[in-house]
Amino acid sequence: MLANLLIGLREGLEAGLIVGILVAYVNKLGRRDILPRLWLGIAIAILISLSVGALLTWGPYAMSSQAKEILGGSLSILAVGLVTWMIFWMARHARALKLELHSRLDAAIAGAGMGIVLIGFVSVGREGVETALFIWATVNSGSNAVVGTAGALLGIAAAIVIAYLIYRGLVRINLSTFFLWTGLFLILVAAGVLAYGIGELQEAGLLFGDGQTAFSLAHVIPPSSWYGSLLAGLFNFTAEPSWLQFVGWLVYLGVVTPLFLRTAFAAPHSAQPDTPSQLVA
């Protein structure tokens, strides 16, 4: 539950900050007449994100076991790719996000009316679809579906409240620190989802090594223990991984973590302030 709560919180806060920046800029320009079109695009994005989540949840029931394993494994690896791209994109562009959104909105206002709808749709839809896919992957890999979904919804609800308080200037958060630590956490979660996806494709016969256990930590971290269940729920920990699962998990962490840290600390520090109130002003 905690993993999905933090995923929902981070992704929801990203989307909330984007909406806050757009709405504040529209108000600053004195163009409140275009707000309905902006909100229409955001509403469409939310609807499509919910539809993706519903399709992933209920769509595979009629499939064979092998087809479910192929779908689960493939979508889990896709989710890892999307969330990894998102983490790096935010690390590189967070400080210039305000200027980038302003320029896009200026171009949309100068063009056709549907451009405003598209800005709202794209800005929020990307976050929503990524969130739906990644939460589905973490739930599908072993978490309780009800608890995992509830955690994600709580995180999103908290993000909406925090984003509103930021927009009103009532809350100040060091966004660089927030996105740094949540990014590192998501890398750990993504590594576990990647290992799960590899395991599913092995069971489906698409990858070699099915049934060949690399080692067993069951005597150290019993899967039935509270801490074994906690690690499984947070990071998709498995006490008896295959060699391919272990190598994939290790290589992902060994490559992505230092690259993310280098990207985060190398991001320009003069493009945009850290304070949320300045971010949406």
Residue 90 CA to its chain's centroid (Å): 11
pLDDT of residue 104: 80
pLDDT profile of the chain (281 residues), mean per 10? 77 83 84 86 89 76 76 87 86 74 80 76 81 78 67 85 80 77 89 90 81 83 80 80 92 96 74 46 52
Q: CA-to-CA distance for 164 and 176, rounded, in angstroms?
A: 19
Residue 167 CA to its chain's centroid (Å): 22
> Hey, where are the domains in the chain?
2-280
pLDDT of residue 198: 92
Closest to 25 in 3D by CA, of 113, 110, 99, 127 = 99
pLDDT of residue 228: 80
pLDDT of residue 173: 72
- The sign of the dihedral angle between the CA atoms of 37, 40, 46, 51 is negative
* Backbone φ, ψ for residue 148 (5° rounding): -65, -45
pLDDT of residue 194: 93
